[in-house]
Amino acid sequence: MVININSFFSSKNKSSNIGDFQDLEHIDGVGVSSLSANLYSNKRDDLVLFYFRNGANHASVYTQSKIVSENIKWNLKIKSKKIKALLINTRNANAFTGKAGFNGIKELAEELSKLLTEKQKLDEEKPNKIEPKDLLFASTGTIGEEFPTDKIKSNLNKLVENIKYTQNKYIWIKASMGILTTDLKPKLALEECKIGKSNVKIYGLAKGSGMIFPNMATTLGFIFTDASLSSGILKQLLKKNITNTFNAISCDGDTSTNDMVSVFSTCKVNNIKIKNINDKRLSEFDKCLNSVLLSLAKRVVSDGEGASKFITVSINNAKNKEDAKKIAFSIANSPLVKTAIAGEDCNFGRVIMALGKANIRLDLKKLSIKFGNHKVIEKGEKSISYNEKELKKYMRDESIDLIIDLGIGNQNFTAYTMDFTKRYIEINSDYRS
């Protein structure tokens, strides 16, 4: 699943295949800037700013971990209807840093709001004063280390000076790489659609490679649209579409202190006003937002730490949605299932083990299991068509589909995960360096 980054720079691609880059171009109302604040020992972009010069409606979902980062504590206090900027730093999670970490965010907010206010005076005919309460923050990296307030603060002036109001794919790829930690691949997605008769864009980028398991959001994801949609509508749309996208993935079963997915609407397209998410004129946008979120979520899984295979776990015909989801993640999070797939071993007994430990009442006489198109279990017994030789060939594929039909209801759920390899251990045993 190696992606040739050189192909990105010569591409003209808008497809949503996981292995391909999508070419994000320009979206009105978003300014982008990224640079190195020397947060890493090796120089790389580690500070990214998204600036909404006229403000943006917004909605976010956050981790439900009982220990949350200081930036999330800050964000949860923000009540502004319009957000003016989002600042993202990598290398340091600003979690378990206490009062000093929160005060660091406060100090950055005060400085950044001053700098952006000055930029308003330079760039706008009718400049507005930007307040600290107009800013959101995202942090990712190591937990428990002192937050590098001074390093970040000293680079804010240059970061603001470098804001690009007109973006291209190079600017987007630079920004997407600036939010990575152990990720190997930038993650971008786009859709273009209509609200009523108006053309709108939906752009997204994400980071995530390890400590990926849904507990509301999972990893970091940022969605931008030029559509005119209220914060209330965005909140409902995000809540609806997070369930089968970012809340349907797992790399290692661990939930971060910093999980955050946000959507921003710059309102630059004068589309028809939407007052209800069930409005039929919003249906195409709703579908495309789900597509962007799912594409990003799958890209996170495909880039899981040490991953060699992308695994889809489909639970069909469960009694209820909750049972389907519990079984799906029992399988997706099983180290024994993940290592068997890494070793290209068609040991279906491990799937059966993970199915059983979910502690959901089953009717084994109705149970069917397939690996891709290969029937393994039918009506609770090994399939008469089972062919281990052919199944072994299938296990060499980079994408593995596990399809479990419970036959006891009509509810389905699909989870996405990756295998466990030796590389996963290597990465996480040497994470801080």
Residue with tokens 């949609």: 229
**H-type helices in 179-308, by residue range?**
231-242, 283-302
What mean pLDDT is reported for the chain? 89
> In the prediction, which pLDDT does 257 show?
81
Domains, the chain, ordered by start: 20-302 (3.60.70.12), 310-429 (3.10.20.340)
Return the pLDDT at 67: 86
Distance from chain centroid for Cα 195: 24
Residues catalogued as catalytic? 218
Dump the DSSP string for 100-143: HHHHHHHHHHHHHHHHHHHHHHHH-SS--PPPGGGEEEEEBSBT
Residue 85 has phi, psi (to 5 degrees) of -165, 155
- Asked if pLDDT for residue 341 goes beyond 50, the answer is yes
% of the chain with per-residue pLDDT over 90: 75
Residue 242 CA to residue 238 CA, distance in Å, equals: 6
- For the chain, percent of residues with pLDDT exceeding 70: 89
Summarize pLDDT for 147-189 with one digit per residue, the tens: 999 999 999 999 999 999 999 999 999 999 999 887 778 899 9
pTM above 0.75, yes or no: yes
Q: Are 216 and 247 in contact (CB under 8 A)?
A: yes
Q: How far is CA 54 from CA 175, 229, 335, in A?
A: 21, 14, 48
pLDDT for 228 beyond 60: yes
d(CA 283, CA 287): 6
The whole-number pLDDT of residue 3 equals 41
